[in-house]
Amino acid sequence: MGYENLDKLIETVRILRSPEGCEWDRVQTHKTLRPNMLEEAYEAVDAMDSGDTKHLREELGDVLLQVLLHSQIAEDEGEFTLDDVAKELNEKLIHRHPHVFGKVKVNSTKEILDNWDKLKKEEKPHRKSAMDGISKSQSALMSAQKISKRAVKQGFEWPNEKSLYECIHSEFEEFKEAVNENEPEHAEEEMGDILFAIVNLARWHKIDTEQALLKANKKFMARFREMEKLAKKPLEEHSFREYDILWKLAKENLSH
């Protein structure tokens, strides 16, 4: 299988960044393109969720463009090249899959993942804490999931599910106390503790909280749009009771 189109794309990006290229592309930096990388990644995920493979193909192209742009910027600055990126990734994949490219024998997916973590730790000896290396740019919810999983790998786990529910209940009580005492900063802190405890509960049941919340957001927006269609007057003119009736009707309509 040839990759002539990939070679053409790499050359197109090189030209765009050249003195004869595009003024906008020439002035971009890793920092200015940071929002684009995040936006394109999220749009690719949206395309995956939609099941539209044509849309996914387009969005993966946009993600690839970000990789090529950052690599070209780095090459222009004499830092590294796209080939360096590919070489390092290839070496890492081979090193972390000794059961495929080496002589290591594994009997389960768990053994594969355990071996991956072991090799990853050997590659990064500078990391002294289990909390090192967690991205500061990902959502707080995704960070909480990773922090929780890292802690559990070190043996820091709840003894049982009952103790976890007790912790969540305790955090709610502490939040209510902070609100009653009119301490906004303390209330914010306690709300953070509630959310973190709930992330732990989700992990306990192998639920991805990021995905769970995305689905809840999608469901809420669909029901709210249905309410807007059903309403005979502007929503802001409805009483709570009218809202409740509309909400239940919207829920019923969308469940069919």
The reply to whether 203 and 244 lie within a common domain is no
203 in the same domain as 170: yes
From residue 80, how far is each of 14, 70, 77, 83, 153 by CA, in Å? Answer: 14, 10, 8, 8, 34
Average pLDDT estimate for 28-48: 93
Q: Tell me the C-alpha to C-alpha distance, in Å, between residue 173 and each of 111, 159, 170, 178, 254.
A: 41, 22, 5, 9, 35
In contact, 212 and 232? CB cutoff 8 Å = no
Residue 199: closest CA among 159, 149, 130: 149
Alpha-carbon distance values, 138 to 56, 60, 142 (Å): 22, 19, 6
Confidence (pLDDT) at 247:
94
| Nearest partner of 230 among 217, 238, 218, judged by Cα | 238
Look at residue 109 and tell me if it is in a domain: no
* Residue pair 47/58 in contact by the 8 Å Cβ criterion: yes
Judgement on whether residues 197 and 237 belong to the same structural domain of the protein: no
115 part of a folded domain: no
* CA proximity to 251, closest of 225, 213, 233, 212: 225
Give the residue from 171, 192, 207 where a domain finishes: 207
Same domain? 195 vs 218: no
Alpha carbon distance 49, 221 (integer Å): 16
Domain finish residue from 64, 80, 96: 80
How many separate domains does the chain show? 3
Reported as a single tens digit per residue, the pLDDT across 57-102 is 999 999 999 999 999 999 999 999 999 999 999 999 999 999 999 8
CA–CA dist 76, 47 (Å, integer): 32
Helix (H, G, I), strand (E, B) or coil at 208: coil
Q: Evaluate whether 119 touches 95 at the Cβ level (below 8 Å).
A: yes
Residue 104 lies in a domain: no
Tell if the pTM clears 0.85, that is, is over it.
Answer: no
178 and 197 together in one domain: yes
| Whether residue 197 has pLDDT greater than 90 | yes
Enter the tokens of residue 219: 């469901």
d(CA 6, CA 81): 15
In a domain, 130, yes or no: no
Q: What is the mean pLDDT of residues 150-157?
A: 88
Residue range(s) defining the domain that contains residue 182: 140-207
In a domain, 110, yes or no: no
Looking at the domain assignment, is residue 71 inside a domain? Answer: yes
State whether 203 and 217 are in the same domain. Answer: no
Cβ 175 vs Cβ 190: under 8 Å: yes
Residues 9 and 37 in one domain: yes
Does residue 190 lie in a domain region? Answer: yes
Same domain, 162 and 218: no
Output the average pLDDT for the chain.
92
Please give the average per-residue pLDDT across 214-230, as a whole number. Answer: 93
User: Which residues contact residue 119 at a Cβ distance below 8 angstroms, ignoring those fewer than 6 apart?
Assistant: 95, 96, 98
Domain boundary among the residues 80, 103, 123 is at: 80
Checking if the pLDDT of 52 tops 90, the result is yes
Regarding whether 73 and 39 lie in a shared domain, the answer is: yes
Tell me if 25 is assigned to some domain.
yes
Q: Check whether residue 191 and residue 223 sit in a common domain.
A: no
Unique residue bearing structure tokens 């072991």: 118
Contact 15, 21 (CB under 8 A): yes
Band (pLDDT 50/70/90 cuts) for residue 116 is confident
Q: What is the CATH classification number for the domain harbouring 64?
A: 1.10.287.1080
Dihedral of alpha carbons 223, 229, 232, 236, sign: positive
Please provide the DSSP assignment of 215-247 as one string.
HHHHHHHHHHHHHHHH-SS-GGG--HHHHHHHH
